[in-house]
Amino acid sequence: MEFKELPLSESTLKAVEKMGFKEPTPIQEKVIPLLLETQRDVTGLAQTGTGKTAAFGLPLIELVDTNKREIQGLVLCPTRELCLQINREMELFSKFTKDLRIVPVYGGKDMGSQIRSLKMNPQILVATPGRLVDMIKRGVVDISKLRYLIMDEADIMLNMGFRDELDFILASSPDERQTLLFSATMPPEVARIAKEYMTDPIEIAMGKKNEGTDTIEHYFYLVQARDRYNALKRLVDFNPGIYGLVFCRTRADTQMVADRMLKDGYNVDALHGDMTQQQREFVMKKFREQSLQILVATDIAARGLDVNNLTHVIHYELPDDIESYNHRSGRTGRAGRRGTSCAIVNMREKYKIKRIEKTLGRKILEAPVPLGADICEQQLMDLIDRVQTVDVDEEQIAPYIGVIEDKLRDLDRNTLLKHFISMEFNRFLSYYGNQQDLQPVKAENFRDRGRDRAGDRGGFRGNRDNSNVRYVHMNMNLGHRDRISPQHIISMINRSTKGSKVPIGRIDIGPTKSSVQIDAAYASQVEEALSRVPFEGKKIRLDVQKDAPAGSEGGSFNRGGYSGGGYNGKRKSGGYNKRGKGGKSGSFR
């Protein structure tokens, strides 16, 4: 099928043709006629990169009445980057549609300029939930005449804690609207939204739920935790033509990895939430134009980064929720191209690979970290290939040939080749010639010091005396059966306090419940934040109880690691003690 066979107007087809699109993707082929010919609600399950924006954007442009100066269509999305991307594409789709106005509304930008844009009375609004709720409560945005409401990447919006905002927006809009929900996965919270706010929706699924695309090859590399960065360097060096994304879990790790790679000579930059909007847009522009070879990013910051020719996605750290793995990997292997997803995993994280395989419905192959000799060979062959295929401008170089021949007169062919190769190649030969290859990690040699499956026999504790800290016990409805670990709990607390150093005491994990001691000063902030964000689809219920004894052992955690209790990357300090006495039975890395 071609786009001209779809029931679209001439002006829309003209815009699509100008963008170079000829044939609709499978989801576009199914969704576009459905939205134009029925008022039924629709849930669309499709991976990133399948053309969802055009699937809902083209019909929306056709359906709104340009003679009415009121908001008729609303597109909700999780991040400012995705909001701007959708807005850009919608403007291109409507290039030849007269009197249609589309306005983006998102956080991180001056509200005054957005309010001025809204005074143009747009028919379509593209918005992030938080900023839209602010606008509605201020009386700046009126969605009482809304006819079409689209939620793009609904699962991510809920994972980011926008449940209350979505409930408010959906409850504030007319009941007779048509609602469209697009998501790559269907966790319980998304299913709840569909059940509560949609009427007998038609489900359109491109493949199985949560299934990965067939154009991506998946590998994982098992390493010691301390070797994670060196493994990343080897993966990048083994793929000389790499154009890829490296994902980290936290903003701090993202900046740290980018800084180290930049110092080591790689063409790289970072993308995370601590950067200003102007900085993020500048970095994304460089990456889209391929002025950058590698972008190190957090999951949230990379939302809306629409690049079709990425060769690799590297998971420097596996995400806390398994569904995010699919979103990350889906950034490569788009538009019919092949892509590779590589996960760098330590032994404590290996169990996640099995869970991801179950979710994807496919095997993730274990591969050895490239050896130094193999990396040097790859780089050499890439150099030779580039020499063979380089464009030669005879006219431009003609004036210099004589001088060059004269200077190189004393070098025979073999010597010249050796000099040439050494000039371009010495860096890799020197580095890997002096580096020991990373040894394979074997399960039988690994001592799992961090996991206590006994549940009620003790837990993790720091060993620094925080005598001035008053702890409270925070209980949660997650335990071993939910596959939660101390690392998960620490990571969630870090995110909930936006990087503040929260003193944390003892962590006890039972079969179905967990308990953690945290500084009472942060209890309300942590409780409010965690209650809004589900853990792998399960709502977190918290109960703050009486104070822990004064002076209980504890340390402060920041950047995903234990710092206050003396953690410095060495196998010392805070123990995850199976006997609950703290000290020698193992250490948390």
pLDDT in tens, 201-218: 998 876 544 445 677 889
Burial 316-347 (b: 16+ CB within 10 A, else e): bbbbbbbbbbbbbbbbbbbeeeebbbbbbbbb
From residue 530, give the alpha-carbon distance in Å to each of 187, 496, 513, 523, 526: 17, 7, 15, 11, 6
Q: CA-to-CA distance for 366 and 498, rounded, in angstroms?
A: 35
Question: Looking at the domain that runs over 3-205, which CATH code has it been given?
Answer: 3.40.50.300
Grade residue 335 by pLDDT with cuts at 50, 70 and 90: low
The arithmetic mean of pLDDT across residues 172-176, rounded, is 92
Rounded to whole angstroms, the Cα distance separating 465 from 556 reads 11
Indicate the pairing of strand 73-76 with strand 124-127: parallel
Only one residue has tokens 């055009």, namely: 54
Residue 305 CA from chain centroid, whole number: 10
Handedness of CA 515, 519, 522, 524 (dihedral sign): positive
DSSP 72-92: -EEEE-SSHHHHHHHHHHHHH
Measured CA to CA, the distance from residue 574 to residue 504 in angstroms comes to 11
Compute and round to an integer the Cα radius of gyration of the chain.
27
pLDDT at residue 128 above 90?
Answer: yes
Please name the residue that has the structure tokens 């000829």. Answer: 22
State which of 87-96, 420-429, 473-482 shows the largest mean pLDDT. Answer: 87-96
Question: How far separated are the first and last CA of the chain, in Å rounded?
Answer: 55
Q: Which residues of 213-225 are buried (b: 16+ CB within 10 A; e: fewer)?
A: beebbbebbbbee
- Angle formed by the axes of helices 413-433 and 372-389, to 10°? 140
Across residues 473-498, what is the average pLDDT?
Answer: 78
pLDDT class of 561 with cuts at 50, 70, 90? very low
Give the three-state DSSP class for 415. Answer: helix
Please provide the CATH number assigned to the domain covering 460-576: 3.30.70.330
Residue type, 349: E
* One-letter identity of residue 536: E
Confidence at residue 443, expressed as pLDDT on a 0 to 100 scale: 53
The identity of residue 540, as a single letter, is I
Percent of the chain with pLDDT over 90: 32
| pLDDT band at residue 146 under the 50/70/90 scheme | very high
Estimate to the nearest angstrom the gap between the alpha carbon of 278 and the chain centroid.
20
Backbone φ, ψ for residue 65 (5° rounding): -95, 110
Report yes or no on whether pTM surpasses 0.75: no
Give me 486's structure tokens. Answer: 């101390």
The answer to whether residues 537 and 359 touch, using CB atoms and an 8 Å cutoff, is: no
Distance between CA 404 and CA 396 in Å, rounded? 14
User: Which of 83, 28, 43, 29 minimizes the C-alpha distance to 179?
Assistant: 43
Phi and psi angles of residue 183, each rounded to the nearest 5 degrees, phi first: -155, 150
Pairing of strands 460-461, 178-183: unpaired
- Sorted by where each begins, the domain ranges of the chain are 3-205, 216-371, 373-433, 460-576
For CA atoms 359, 363, 369, 373, the dihedral sign is negative
Please tell me which residue, 477 or 442, carries the higher pLDDT value: 477
- Are 148 and 295 in contact by the 8 Å Cβ rule? The answer is no
CB 144 within 8 A of CB 177: no
Q: Which residues pair with 152 in a beta bridge?
A: 182
What is the helix (H) or strand (E) element at residue 178, kind and residue range?
Answer: strand 178-183
Q: What would the 3-class secondary structure string for 129-197 be?
A: HHHHHHHHHCCCCCCCCCCEEEEECHHHHHHCCCHHHHHHHHHHCCCCCEEEEEECCCCHHHHHHHHHH
Residue with the two structure tokens 């609904």: 154
* Closest by Cα among 37, 20, 327, 376 to 154: 327
Decide if 3-205 and 460-576 have a common fold. Answer: no
Homologous superfamily of the 216-371 domain (CATH): P-loop containing nucleotide triphosphate hydrolases (3.40.50.300)
Q: What does the alpha-carbon distance between residue 111 and residue 331 come to, in Å, rounded to a whole number?
A: 31
Strand order in the sheet with 178-183: 102-105, 124-127, 73-76, 148-152, 178-183, 42-45, 202-205
Q: Is pLDDT of 169 > 90?
A: yes
Question: Half-sphere exposure of residue 503, counting CA atoms within 13 Å on the CB side?
Answer: 19
Cα separation, 527 vs 543, whole angstroms: 8
Instruction: Identify which of 124, 302, 146 has the alpha carbon closest to the alpha carbon of residue 105.
Output: 124
Lowest mean pLDDT among 344-358, 384-398, 449-463, 533-547: 449-463
Whole-angstrom distance, CA of residue 411 vs CA of residue 575: 63
Tens of pLDDT along 59-118? 999 999 999 999 999 999 988 888 988 999 999 999 999 999 999 999 878 889 999 999
pLDDT band for position 319 (cuts 50, 70, 90): confident
Burial of 569 (0-12, 13-18, 19+ CB in 10 A): exposed
Average pLDDT over residues 307-327: 84
Retrieve residue 356's tokens: 């991801």
Average pLDDT over residues 211-234: 86
Tokens of 123: 């028919």
For residue 450, pLDDT beyond 70: no
List the beta strands (DSSP E) in 189-235: 202-205, 216-222
The one-character DSSP state at 293 is S
CA distances from 100 to 60, 152, 296, 404, 553 (A): 11, 21, 37, 61, 62
Average pLDDT, the chain: 80
d(CA 521, CA 550): 14
